[in-house]
Amino acid sequence: MVRVRFAPSPTGHLHIGGARTALFNWLFARHEGGVFVLRIEDTDRTRSTEEYIESIMEGMKWLNLDWDEGPFRQTDRFDVYKSCVDKFLAEGKAYHCYCTPEELEERRQKALAEGRPPRYDGRCRLLKEPVPGRTPSVRFKMPQTGQTVVNDLIRGPVSFDNSQLDDFIIARSDGTPTYNFVVVVDDVEMKITHVIRGDDHLNNTPKQIHIYTSLGYETPKFAHLPMIMGHDKTRLSKRHGATSVMAYKEMGYLPDALINYLARLGWSCGDQEIFTREELKARFSMEHIGKSAAVFNPEKLLWLNGEYIRKTSPEELTDLVMPFLIAKGLVKDPETPEGSAWLTNNKQWLRKAVASLTERSKTLVQIAGAMEFYLLDTVEVDPQAREKFLNSETLNYLADVRGGLSGLQEFTHDALEKVFQEIVAKHDTKLAKVAQPVRVAVTGGTVSPGIFDVLEIIGRERTLKRLEKAMKLAGYEL
C-alpha cells in the first residue's frame, strides 16, 4: 500500500511550490489507490503559527486536494522524538554539543571567508565531561568515511561522500527536535513508502538515510521534484508577483485550472495540455516527471483559466462570479433578505449576462468587471469612445435605433437584429457603423459582447434611457 505525505511548515501561506508538491503527492496516492497524509512540520516554534496552519489547509481545500489522514502536528509528538533522542544518546549514536549558536556562527563565517566548507568540525564528539553553565544541543554522529547513495526515482542514483557530511543537530538546547531528525521519525512511524518533495531536500537525504539506518528501518523511496522558478530563473518569490495559492483565488482563477497548470509544470503526457482531474489521476506517473527546473509562466496559466471558464456551465459560473459581484457592490449579498429576493427574481437573467461574457473573459474578476453595464442603472461613457462614436455623424443612427426600439414588440436578439438591419439598409451603410455608437451608448465603451445580446439583456427601458443620454452627448437638442 502506497503511503505518501505532504509536510509543509506553517511559516507562510500555501504557495505555488508547496501546492505543486502537495499535488504530485496527491496524484501519486490517488493513482496508486494509496493514502495521502497531511503533516504539519511545526518544530520551529518561533516561526510557526496557527494562522498559517489554517491558511495552508484552506488552500488545499480550495484546490480540492483532500487528505486521508491528519493533519498530524509535530508539536503534539515531542515525547516521541525525545525518547528517540535519548535512545541515540544512550547507544552512542548521538552526543551533546556545548558550542553556542554564536560560536558556531562565528566559525561558519570564518570558514566561508577563508574559502573552507562551513561544516561543524565535530569537536564535542570527544568531550567526556559536560561544560558547566551551558545547556547542550544534541548532535547525530555521522559516518566520516564511505559513501551514501540516494536512489532517487526521478534522478537515479546520487552519491555523496560521507566526508562531506557533518554531525548535524537533532535536538536544540531547549530540547526541541529539528527537521532532519523528526522527518525520519515521523515517516517511519506513519509508514510512508514514498517521499515526494522538492529538489532542495536532495542534499538532506543522505543525512536522513543514516537516521533511518540508526533507527533500524529501511528507507522509503525518494522522488525529488524539480524546483519552480520565476521568469528570471531565480527561485520563485514575492518579487515575481503572486505566489500564494489563495491570491489566485482572489484574482479569479479556477482551482482546476491551477491544478492543471501545476500538473504540467514538470510532468507531461505526450502532447496533451488539458486534463480533467480524473485524467490526471489516471495518467499520472513518476516516469514522466522531468528533471530540470521549470519557470512559472503566468500567461499560460491565464490561457488555461480561460479554457476552464469556457468549459464551465453558466449556472456554475454565475455562482462562482457572485462573490466578486458582491465585493464590487454590483449585487446585494444574498445572505440579506433583499439580496436573496433580488437573486431569486433575477437568477436566469444573471446567468444569461454571465454567459454572454464567458467567451471573452479569462478570469472571474474579468467577468465581474465586465458585468458593470448590465447591473448598473447608468453607465459612464469613456471620453475617447464618446469623441469617436457619439457625434453629429452618428446622431442619426442613434435616433433611428431609439425610434425603432421604442415601438418594438419583442425586445429580443432576433427582433433587435431586424431593426438594425432595416436602419443599415435605409442608410446604405454597414452594421458596424450603427452598432458601434449604440455599443458606446449602452455599455460606455467600445468593447462588449454582441450588441443584440447586450441590448436584450439590458432591456428596453435602460437601453432607451442610455440612448437618449448618448444622443445628448452627441449634440442632440430638444
Partner RNA sequence: GUCCCCAUCGUCUAGUCCGGCCUAGGACAUCGCCCUUUCAAGGCGGUAACAUGGGUUCGAAUCCCAUUGGGGACGCCA
Structural contact between residues 20 and 265, judged by C-beta atoms closer than 8 angstroms: yes
Q: What is the DSSP letter of 68?
A: S
Element housing 317 (H / E): helix 314-327
Structural contact between residues 27 and 263, judged by C-beta atoms closer than 8 angstroms: yes
Least distance from C-beta 111 to RNA, angstroms? 7
Q: In the annotation, is 238 catalytic?
A: yes
Q: Rounded CA gap, 90 and 225, in Å?
A: 37
By beta-carbon proximity to RNA, the closer residue of 430 and 472 is: 430
Helices 392-406 and 431-443 pack at an angle, to 10 degrees, of 80
- Rounding to the nearest 10 degrees, give the CA dihedral for residues 93, 133, 101, 49: 90
Alpha helices in 158-297 (DSSP H): 179-189, 205-215, 245-250, 255-264, 277-283
Least distance from C-beta 157 to RNA, angstroms? 8
By beta-carbon proximity to RNA, the closer residue of 64 and 164 is: 164
Q: Which of 170, 172, 166, 194 is nearest to 180 (CA)?
A: 170
Structural contact between residues 141 and 131, judged by C-beta atoms closer than 8 angstroms: no
From residue 408, alpha-carbon distances to 76, 130, 422, 423, 432 in Å are 72, 98, 13, 14, 21
Least distance from C-beta 452 to RNA, angstroms? 4
By beta-carbon proximity to RNA, the closer residue of 26 and 222 is: 222
By beta-carbon proximity to RNA, the closer residue of 376 and 447 is: 447
Q: Rounded CA gap, 442 and 435, in Å?
A: 11
DSSP 3-state of 363: coil
Structural contact between residues 348 and 356, judged by C-beta atoms closer than 8 angstroms: no
Q: Rounded CA gap, 411 and 458, in Å?
A: 10
Q: For residue 344, give the C-alpha cell.
A: 431569486
By beta-carbon proximity to RNA, the closer residue of 189 and 199 is: 199
Least distance from C-beta 372 to RNA, angstroms? 15
Q: Please provide the size of the chain in residues.
A: 478
Q: For residue 296, give the C-alpha cell.
A: 512559472
Query: Looking at 110, 238, 291, 430, which residue is catalytic?
Result: 238
Q: Rounded CA gap, 187 and 293, in Å?
A: 26
Q: Rounded CA gap, 132 and 25, in Å?
A: 47
By beta-carbon proximity to RNA, the closer residue of 180 and 312 is: 180
By beta-carbon proximity to RNA, the closer residue of 114 and 335 is: 114
Q: Rounded CA gap, 156 and 149, in Å?
A: 10
Structural contact between residues 444 and 373, judged by C-beta atoms closer than 8 angstroms: yes
Catalytic residues: 238
